[in-house]
């Protein structure tokens, strides 16, 4: 059973439909107790880090989620769901994350220019990633494949060995995916990344 955490801040139905299309047993649940019976957990996230981490804590999800990770069961974070794995974020002040991946979440600098044109923030749309580590979710995924991003903040990992893939936007080469033991996460949205995203979900579901 793949449990998608419903803490009122995620793109839940699209993720659920992707797993269902691949034939996996999946549920969306707002009950923290359902994490304890799940084989795998997906932590999605849309919006601001501050709001997401507050909803996650207020909903009582943090302790069962950490127990799931400590038990060695697979977990997949998506977008802000990846950012919350880090120590802290500077979005709307400083806010503490889950502390599962050392590092912090920072904003893209303003005024970035590429080929003479000013780059917009948020970073939105298709961009290619460079695979740095053989994360299980990247099995059979080609290097420099294109995936879909929507974000104004990005993760700075303290340890390079936690970085599974990178992406460049303007002058910034940022962490596009992390992998540490049973923890996997993407800054991009697999549910919006067509065939590549479905392959990532397939790899996760088959772990």
Q: What confidence tens digit (pLDDT) does each residue in 11-60 have? A: 899 999 999 999 999 999 999 999 999 999 999 999 999 999 999 999 99
pLDDT(140) > 90: yes
Please answer whether residues 75 and 65 qualify as being in contact, where contact means their C-beta atoms are separated by less than 8 angstroms. yes
| Active site positions, annotated | 79, 189, 191
Q: Are strands 2-5 and 40-43 parallel, antiparallel or unpaired?
A: parallel
DSSP 99: -
Rounded to 5 degrees, φ, ψ at 128 are -95, 150
Distances (CA, A) of 87 to 31, 34, 63, 81, 184: 25, 25, 16, 13, 16
- Residue 10's pLDDT is 77
Helices 194-205 + 12-21 axis angle, to 10:
70
Q: What angle do CA 157, 163, 105 make, to 5 degrees?
A: 30
Question: pLDDT confidence of 9, banded at 50, 70, 90?
Answer: confident
Interval 103-127 mean pLDDT: 91
In the chain, the domains with their CATH numbers are 2-205 (3.40.50.880)
Question: pLDDT confidence of 135, banded at 50, 70, 90?
Answer: very high
- List pLDDT tens digits, range 169-203: 999 999 999 999 999 999 999 999 999 999 999 99
Please answer whether residues 189 and 197 qualify as being in contact, where contact means their C-beta atoms are separated by less than 8 angstroms. yes
- List pLDDT tens digits, range 76-102: 999 999 999 999 999 999 999 999 999
């Amino acid at each position: 059973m793949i449990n998608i955490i419903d803490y009122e801040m995620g793109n839940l139905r699209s993720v659920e439909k992707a797993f269902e299309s691949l034939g996996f047993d999946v549920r969306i649940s707002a009950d923290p107790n359902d994490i304890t019976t799940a084989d795998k957990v997906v932590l999605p996230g849309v919006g601001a880090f501050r709001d997401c981490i507050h909803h996650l804590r207020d909903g009582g999800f943090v302790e069962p989620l950490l127990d799931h990770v400590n038990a060695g069961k697979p977990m997949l974070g998506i977008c802000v769901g990846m950012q919350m794995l880090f120590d802290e974020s500077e979005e709307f002040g400083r806010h503490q994350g889950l502390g599962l991946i050392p590092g912090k979440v920072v904003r893209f600098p303003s005024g970035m220019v590429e080929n003479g044109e000013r780059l917009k923030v948020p970073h939105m749309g298709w961009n290619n990633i460079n695979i740095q580590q053989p994360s299980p979710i990247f099995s059979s995924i080609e290097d420099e494949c294109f995936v879909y991003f929507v974000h104004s903040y990005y993760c700075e990992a303290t340890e390079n060995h936690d970085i599974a893939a990178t992406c460049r936007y303007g002058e910034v080469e940022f962490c596009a995916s992390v992998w540490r033991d049973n923890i996997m996460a993407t800054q991009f949205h697999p549910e919006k990344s067509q065939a590549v995203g479905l392959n990532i979900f397939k790899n996760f579901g088959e772990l």
